[in-house]
Structure formats: C-alpha cells, structure tokens
C-alpha cells in the first residue's frame, strides 16, 4: 500500500481570476452611463463603482494566507502574512474543472484560497483534487 504524501502550496493571486474580476468591474462601471439618470449622477455612480471594485480587487489579490499545507494525517496548516503558522479546518472545498476553491477557518480568522492552473503546479493541483475527492465528509 502506498501512503499519500502531504500537499503544499505557495498562495499567489491568480492572473486569470484577476483579469475576470477586472472585466466585471469594468462592465459594472460603465453600466450607470447607459441609464436615464442625470449625467452628474451617472458619473458619480460610475466613479463610486470603479473605486469600490478596485479596492475589492486589491483586497482579493492581497490574501491573508501566504502558504498552505495539507499533511497526510488530514491536518491543514496555513502560514499567514505575518509569518505565523496555524492549524486550520477545511470548511468547504469546491472543484471546478481543474481549479480548486478552498474556504479555511482557524482559531482567530479565516480565508479563501483559489488554486488555478496559473498559480499552482499541475501535479500538486491534480494530487489535491484526487485527495479531496476521496476525503470523507465531516
């Protein structure tokens, strides 16, 4: 019998998701310009949407989680931006095609991780998908 090895990831923002988010923000920004509102309100709404969208994209790209490990003992560890490493609980895992989306919670916080082919090695991502698909539900 072969034992499973641990899985680890350095969490970097996905360029694909960042571009997708920027496209959504751009479309939402121009949407008020096609309404029947007065021009000053149209432009004020467009600027407000652009500013909020930009701030959300910056927050998305600056995740609290720097790295992530899943040990063979089914224990998750997250390394936070400040350098602290904490054990974490996997709250939710979604596999979408070749991408994996994780929601983790630790003692005094929580966060989400999006692992796509452009920000994770293909072999590690494949191993993670296989381990998640065979994992027992809590």
- Contact between 112 and 106 under an 8 Å Cβ cutoff? The reply is no
- Contact between 60 and 21 under an 8 Å Cβ cutoff? The reply is yes
Closest by CA position to 24, among listed 64, 68, 56:
56
* pLDDT score at 134: 82
Angle between helices 15-30 and 39-61 (to 10 degrees): 170
Cβ partners under 8 Å of residue 120, min gap 6: 9
Q: For 75-97, what is each residue's pLDDT tens digit? A: 999 999 888 899 999 999 999 99
Tokens of 24: 């959504």
Mean pLDDT over each residue of the chain, to the nearest integer:
90
Distance CA 40, CA 23 (A): 24
* pLDDT score at 21: 96
Tokens of 80: 């936070």
Predicted confidence band of residue 138 (pLDDT cuts 50, 70, 90): low
Q: Where are the beta strands (DSSP E) in the chain?
A: 7-10, 65-70, 76-80, 85-96, 99-106, 109-115
């Amino acid at each position: 019998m072969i034992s499973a090895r641990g899985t680890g990831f350095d969490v970097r923002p996905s360029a694909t998701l960042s571009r997708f988010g920027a496209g959504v923000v751009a479309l939402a920004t121009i949407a008020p310009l096609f309404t029947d509102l007065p021009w000053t309100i149209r432009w004020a709404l467009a600027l407000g949407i652009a500013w909020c969208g930009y701030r959300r994209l910056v927050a998305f790209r600056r995740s609290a989680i720097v790295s992530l490990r899943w040990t063979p003992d089914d224990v998750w560890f997250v390394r936070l931006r400040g350098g602290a490493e904490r054990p974490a609980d996997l709250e939710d895992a979604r596999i979408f095609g070749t991408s994996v989306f994780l929601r983790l919670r630790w003692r005094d916080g929580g966060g989400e991780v999006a692992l796509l082919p452009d920000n994770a090695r293909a072999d590690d991502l494949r191993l993670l998908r296989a381990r998640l698909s065979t994992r027992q539900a809590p």
